[in-house]
Structure 1
Amino acid sequence: MRPPGVRKIIGISLGLMLAPLILAALLHAQVPIEDFPGESRLSLAAEENPEVVSDPLSPPVTFRIKEDGLKTLLAGSANEDFLADLRQWQIQIFNFDEEKVAYIQGSGPPSSDRIVWNGAARDGSLLRDGFYTARLVWTDSTGVMQKTPSIQVGLVTSSELKKFLSQQVSFAYSDSGLTLRLAETPTFAPGAWSIQPQSIGTLKQISKFLQCYPRNRLTVQGHADTTGTSGVNKRISLYRARAIYRFLSEHGVDRSRMTYEGRGAEQPIADNATAQGRARNRRVDILLHKAMI
């Protein structure tokens, strides 16, 4: 028989090995809110933006992780050790039928204390305005899975964004501002940089939206997947960014507030190992900066 200390070490090791597999299954399953491991001393808070209808540059919901309901867990603060203990985490959003409709996830501590949600579902489509519930689920360094109590979240998305969001256009928030993401299909043909006719209507709507913020800077960035050489990816991403830049300037957006660049495969937003991930990485981002000129 092994000594107790050895058995404990083996148990922890097995927990660490199995935790990612178990957590992955639970995170992607439709787990009812009440059927989950016990709640921890942490809580999740949501800051809803009451100005979102008039200020689409700000996210509709920002989540905060709190300890004992009092101290916000910020990287670099006194609670840094606990944040480092977050090995895998996911903020899960449920509708009132207790179906998981959206999530935000990561490995290791959140990169910022501001964890924003853009109001989109798991497939990128926009969820209806209304009330949802949310919770934080994670594994710690010993492989133990935990969750916070569920909270209610009110979602209101800018009516201006709703006008042109579709499978072709998605969006994301950051500290810099609002990013509108144009998918390769149907904006461009594979390997080409001429704008497809079926995208013209959507791009005209985006142009009108951007004209509503004449003092905000714009950066148009072309992105590629890892297929092909670095030089080819850089060139195609640059030419696509330039095509969108020219279209916007020809449809009322002042060139003096815009720049464009091709980033190649430098900034993926999905896994290049899968066809779906590569398709998401082939895109053009239009960043509407919060900073004004």
Structure 2
Amino acid sequence: MQRSRLFVSSLAALSLVTVTACVTDPNTGEQKVSRTAIGGAGGAALGYLLGGIIGGKTARIVGAGIGGVAGGVVGYKMDQQIKELKEQTAGSGIDVTEVDDGSAILVNLPDGVTFAVDSTTISPGFQSTLNQISENLKTYPDSLIDVYGHTDSTGSDTYNQDLSERRARSVADYLSMRGVSSSRIRSQGFGERYPVASNDTAEGRARNRRVEIKITPISKEEVDAARRGY
């Protein structure tokens, strides 16, 4: 078992391919550089989070049938989505952050509110929050959605891997049931491989037990390139 390895999410964040004029961030009111080539840089080799898309981006873009967002407004729409997700999940214990050098959104669902102990059934009290997330994903349809399951290091590797896969699949299935296109969604379990805190403390283990929803906006340029290369 791996008990205390920390996955450092800040390692070698990928650069965006191009940037253009400044826009106003709806979350802060500050001017910032807009993103125009979301996901254009490769990086799956850096791990499950940094630039990686489950199953590869090209086939999934084509299979999802999405139209993509105009390059100049990808960043603005992403900022709007983050703002709305934070408002919709306020007080729930969910954490919404930018990842992959600002090219994707990560929604962290903590174990304590999402599932009962050793269960893969979504807690009834959490369903209304997950419903709101589903509505948000339908409002912003031009993205790919990866659902990741993680555990702490308690128990066997085999058990943890299986539990993480089933929990990720449970959340993915729930999103689909709520009307999010299943062609946009993939799920994967990582067991105890990617802790975000030490497994030597109860608090750290609680943080490591989580399901993450990664939302990767797709630009029209990426859709066109995927269709040419498929």
Q: TM-score, structure 2 length as denominator?
A: 0.59
Alpha-carbon displacement from aligned partner over 1:126-157 (angstroms, at most 9, x marks no partner): xxxxxxxxxxxxxxxxxxxxxxxxxxxxxx97
Structure 1 residue ranges (4+ consecutive) displaced by more than 4 angstroms after TM superposition = none
Out of 122, 132, 138, which is 1:211 matched to? 138
- Match of 1:158, SS state, is helix
Fraction of identical pairs, as percent:
33
Out of 174, 190, 197, which is 2:99 matched to? 174
Out of 187, 190, 199, which is 1:272 matched to? 199
CA distance in 2, matches of 1:179, 1:61: 22
CA contact (8 A) 1:168 1:187 kept: no
What pairs with 1:36-185 in structure 2 (closer than 5 Å)?
50-53=23-26, 158-175=83-100, 176-185=103-112
Classify 1:158/1:249 alpha carbon distance in 2 versus 1 (closer, same or farther; 3 Å): same
Amino acid in the other structure paired with 2:199: N
* Structure of larger gyration radius: 1
Classify 1:179/1:61 alpha carbon distance in 2 versus 1 (closer, same or farther; 3 Å): farther
CA distance in 1, matches of 2:201, 2:190: 20
1:272 shift after superposition: 1.1
Structure 1 gap segments, 5+ residues each: 1-48, 63-111, 113-155
CA distance in 2, matches of 1:189, 1:162: 25
CA distance in 2, matches of 1:165, 1:225: 25
Classify 1:213/1:245 alpha carbon distance in 2 versus 1 (closer, same or farther; 3 Å): same
The number of equivalent residue pairs is 149
CA distance in 2, matches of 1:61, 1:271: 36
CA contact (8 A) 1:52 1:158 kept: no
Classify 1:245/1:280 alpha carbon distance in 2 versus 1 (closer, same or farther; 3 Å): same
Q: In angstroms, what is the RMSD of aligned CA positions?
A: 2.6
CA distance in 2, matches of 1:61, 1:227: 45
Whichever structure has more strand as a proportion of its residues is: 1
Alpha-carbon displacement from aligned partner over 1:100-150 (angstroms, at most 9, x marks no partner): xxxxxxxxxxxx9xxxxxxxxxxxxxxxxxxxxxxxxxxxxxxxxxxxxxx
Paired residue for 1:228? 155
1:202 shift after superposition: 0.4
Classify 1:273/1:289 alpha carbon distance in 2 versus 1 (closer, same or farther; 3 Å): same
Structure 2 gap segments, 5+ residues each: 1-21, 33-49, 51-79, 224-230
CA distance in 2, matches of 1:159, 1:261: 26
Whichever structure has more helix as a proportion of its residues is: 2
